[in-house]
């Protein structure tokens, strides 16, 4: 079994390797209408995975993650990892499917489908989501993430009342 500090270092090292292999010229040359920036692929993979630290590792030490639908903001890798862990306790089959990206300098706009099954809900959901990722100057880490999707649509598709709130843990 891998200890927590060692696993965190492994996740951070893998993220650093992503930065080393992706030169800034590769980002400048890529056509964002046909290819997804590597940081976006890693971000979606982290959401689709089961290791909360994989998401946090993609951010700068002082990065922020804002989920506009539920009006919460998390600061730093530890809080961002905690947000992913909390999402995993509330939902099964969390999945982000990237549909399109647009890179403009240090900002990537991501159009995606956010899906999953809220635990205890009669049905799963799949809603459109737009995410704005601000990146560091090398496009290796996320400095800010803002997720935009309709919580009302998530609840309606899930078969839950509009005033549903998640259980406390």
Query: In whole angstroms, what is the distance from residue 126 CA to residue 1 CA?
Result: 35
Dmax of the chain from CA atoms?
Answer: 49
pTM of the predicted structure, to 2 decimals: 0.81
Each residue's pLDDT tens digit, 129-139: 999 999 999 88
Q: Which two three-digit tokens encode residue 67? A: 């989920």
Q: Answer yes or no: is pLDDT of 22 > 60.
A: no
Q: Which two three-digit tokens encode residue 129? A: 């989501």
Residue 114: closest CA among 133, 89, 93: 93
Query: Do 116 and 32 meet the contact criterion of CB atoms below 8 Å apart?
Result: no
How much of the chain, in percent, has pLDDT values that exceed 70? 79
Each residue's pLDDT tens digit, 68-120: 999 999 999 999 999 999 999 999 999 999 999 999 999 999 999 999 999 99
CATH number given to 4-158 = 3.10.450.50
Phi–psi pair at 104, nearest 5 degrees: -135, 100
């Amino acid at each position: 079994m891998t200890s927590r500090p060692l696993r965190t270092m492994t996740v951070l090292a893998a993220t650093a390797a992503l930065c080393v292999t992706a030169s800034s010229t590769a980002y400048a040359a890529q056509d964002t209408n046909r290819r997804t920036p590597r940081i976006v692929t890693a971000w979606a993979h982290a959401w689709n995975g089961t290791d909360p630290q994989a998401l946090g590792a993609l951010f700068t030490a002082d990065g922020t993650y804002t989920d506009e639908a539920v009006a919460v903001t998390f600061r730093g890798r530890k809080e961002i990892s905690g947000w992913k862990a909390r999402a995993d306790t509330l939902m099964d089959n969390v999945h982000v499917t990237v549909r399109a990206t647009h890179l403009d300098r240090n900002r990537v706009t991501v159009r995606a489908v956010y899906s999953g099954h809220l635990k205890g809900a009669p049905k799963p959901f799949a809603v459109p989501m737009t995410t704005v990722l601000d990146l560091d100057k090398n496009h290796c880490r996320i400095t800010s993430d803002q997720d935009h999707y309709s919580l009302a649509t998530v609840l309606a598709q899930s078969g839950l009342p509009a005033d549903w709130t998640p259980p406390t843990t």
